Amino acid sequence: MTEALLTIEAIGNRGDGIAFHEGVRHHVPYALPGETVRAQITAERVEILEIVAPAADRIQPECRHFGACGGCATQHWAGEKVAGWKQERIAAALARAGLSPAIAQTLDAHGEGRRRVTLHIRQKPGGIEAGFMRARSHDLVDLDSCPLLVPALAPAADLARRIGHVLRGITKPLDLQVTASAAGLDADIRGAGPLPEALRLKLIALGAEAGLARLTLHGERLLEPRPPFVALEGTEGMTAFLPPGAFLQATARAEVLLAQLAADKLGRAKHVADLFCGLGPFGLRLGRKMKVTGYDSDKGAIEAFQRSIRANPGGKPVTAEARDLFRRPLFAPELKVFDAVLLDPPRQGAEAQVKEIAKSKLERLVYISCDPESFARDAALLTKAGFRIGEVIPVDQFRHSAHVELVADFTR
């Protein structure tokens, strides 16, 4: 154990300050560039004992749990600095891949807040706790509120504790995903495994009392008085149905921005392949101007997409098909029928699909990514195949975290 004065030189990819002591690089949680801190250094971690000289852009965190809860990394840093750092993260990832495209200023997409949340449920000697993991710990912060969530999710932590109480005889760790839908809260219990009928009936009664739109157990419906759906903002009354445990863009504002940017970059395309389409928030919008064929491995999401297509008639033909694009990407010959592709893969990127696009004669691709590193890898493959990368636009829907989305177009 060592106590030392550290000068913070930069911010790491996870939002920790970077400092050097006796030639060793250290990550210093909650420290900012330019600060001098007195810190305790151990083999496992560095902990700030005192901020000797704070940075001018250090601000007061908005949540009393900041520093204990592991959900946020940068509540103490001014927003414009965080936006610049996320822009720099993307530039650095692309530079490591040998690319240097123009990168726009980061667009703030927090909007009204996050509309979905996953809460951990744990049994403690004093009762049931529900919340987020503590920073660098396996313990929980028992949540009362989170300022990053939309107001409709305010009951989520209490709901999780009530479910934990019903399932208190189960020793396994439990999670509850809650989504704020236009029909009410949509909740999915995970980790419980099969349950006896008596517990299922208790959960159904709890869901009805709480006024949930739907309650599911590992995606299996226990209660659904109202099918959950979301309004597609920026459209004239279009809606999208949600499958149980649905993936949804974290904020409604981000979904609108990403959809607008994608549509602008797709230009006058006539037939678009919407790859990793999910439940169809982009494909449904694009279908008002162009023919869309969506593909995703999540069968539940595809079924919801198909249902939404039927519920939103008009525009151009839109279809959706279940297909594992990691194991069976759209092959180069199959891409001949499309004049553009919209690609929105998960965090690991879409290397297999990108290799097929590189082999094809496709001339336009719009790529939405939630990970700068996997995007840079895929972008390098595309540019090597003759694509030109356009302006990269960062979109920040994960305020106070290290995560950042981006949109870029490729042409040849």
Concerning whether 370 is annotated as a catalytic residue, the answer is yes
Identity of the residue numbered 176? L
CA 106/CA 272 separation, integer angstroms? 27
CA 397/CA 250 separation, integer angstroms? 7
Q: Give CA separation, 411 vs 228, 263, 267, 296, 360, in Å.
A: 38, 15, 12, 24, 13
Catalytic residue from among 72, 146, 277, 370:
370
Burial class, 198, CB count within 10 angstroms (exposed 0-12 / middle 13-18 / buried 19+): exposed
Find residue 24's DSSP bridge partners. Answer: 21
Instruction: Say if CB 318 and CB 342 are below 8 A apart.
Output: no
106 DSSP assignment = P
Which two structure tokens, joined as six digits, stand for 169? 């005889």
Instruction: Say if CB 150 and CB 179 are below 8 A apart.
Output: no
Q: Give CA separation, 112 vs 59, 150, 153, 212, 241, in Å.
A: 21, 6, 11, 21, 21
CA 172/CA 362 separation, integer angstroms? 49
Tell me whether strands 36-41 and 2-7 are parallel, antiparallel or unpaired. Answer: antiparallel
At residue 295, φ and ψ (nearest 5 deg) are -135, 140
Beta carbons within 8 Å of 44's beta carbon, 6+ residues apart: none
Which two structure tokens, joined as six digits, stand for 114? 């996050």
First to last CA, the chain: 57
CA 289/CA 287 separation, integer angstroms? 5
Which residues are catalytically annotated? Answer: 370
